[in-house]
Amino acid sequence: MDASALEPYVTWGTNPEMAGPINASFPEIKDHNDQLAYEYMDLHPGQYASDIKIEYVFIGSCTNGRLSDLQEAAKILSNKKIKKGVTGVVVPGSRPVRQAAEKIGLDQVFIQAGFEWREPGCSMCLGMNPDKVPEFVHCASTSNRNFAGRQGKNARTHLCSPAMAAAAAINGKFVDIRQMAGGIN
Ligand code: SF4
């Protein structure tokens, strides 16, 4: 499989399967699960990921909180600021990852861009303790599950890559990182 030919993917629904390429419109409703997912996410077929207002961005989880993930996100965020009104949280996947990231200055890249630089843990991957996405807010998240309520009651999760999440934080919406300066080819 030639992964280099894949467009960046973003989820529109309430399981990881409900996803599509960034430049494709959301699919038609094919069953009751799709109907429920669209209702929960307050989206509809024919819309694009770039139409969604992103107000929360979570970069982390055991799945996408490796050093290489943080490096991809930091590459996008270097010398940039996240959009006013967007809350950004970075949670390294482990303590060694956090230490390695700090050693090469990634924490400063995130902090200067406007992100919170947190202790490692599950955090917003499952809406742990106070780390929740507010009700009805759309969150670009590098975690691995987007079930209803996963990041908080009525929170609307869109799974994406660390680079896509970083770009969404800067723009307040999803963009194709391949078209951003400093993006990934
Ligand atoms: S809650 Fe998320 S970050 Fe924590 S172990 Fe499960 S998948 Fe990983």
pLDDT of residue 114: 98
Cα 145 to ligand 1 centre (Å): 9
Q: What angle do CA 161, 158, 59 make, to 5 degrees?
A: 45
DSSP assignment letter at 184: -
Alpha-carbon span 110 to 54, nearest angstrom: 18
Q: Which atom of ligand 1 is nearest to the CA of 61?
A: 3
Task: Report d(CA 107, CA 99) in Å as an integer.
Answer: 10
Question: Domain residues of the chain, as ranges?
Answer: 51-179
Q: For the whole model, what pTM was predicted?
A: 0.96
What is the 132 CA–ligand 1 centroid distance (Å)?
Answer: 14
Residue found by looking up tokens 């940039």 in the block: 80
What residue type is assigned to position 66 of the chain? Answer: R
Domain 51-179 has CATH 3.30.499.10: yes
Measured CA to CA, the distance from residue 162 to residue 159 in angstroms comes to 10
Q: Which atom of ligand 1 is nearest to the CA of 126?
A: 1
Give residue 93 CA to ligand 1 midpoint distance, Å.
9
For residues 79 and 167, give the distance between their C-alpha atoms in angstroms, rounded to a whole number: 13
Separation of 43 CA from ligand 1 center, angstroms?
Answer: 26
Single-letter residue type at 163: A
pLDDT of residue 182: 55
Per-residue confidence of the chain (185 residues) as pLDDT tens digits? Answer: 888 889 999 999 999 999 999 999 999 999 999 999 999 999 999 999 999 999 999 999 999 999 999 999 999 999 999 999 999 999 999 999 999 999 999 999 999 999 999 999 999 999 988 999 999 999 999 999 999 999 999 999 999 999 999 999 999 999 999 988 655 54
CB contact at 8 A, 65 and 98: no
- For residue 98 the two structure tokens come to 């956090």
CB 14 within 8 A of CB 40: yes
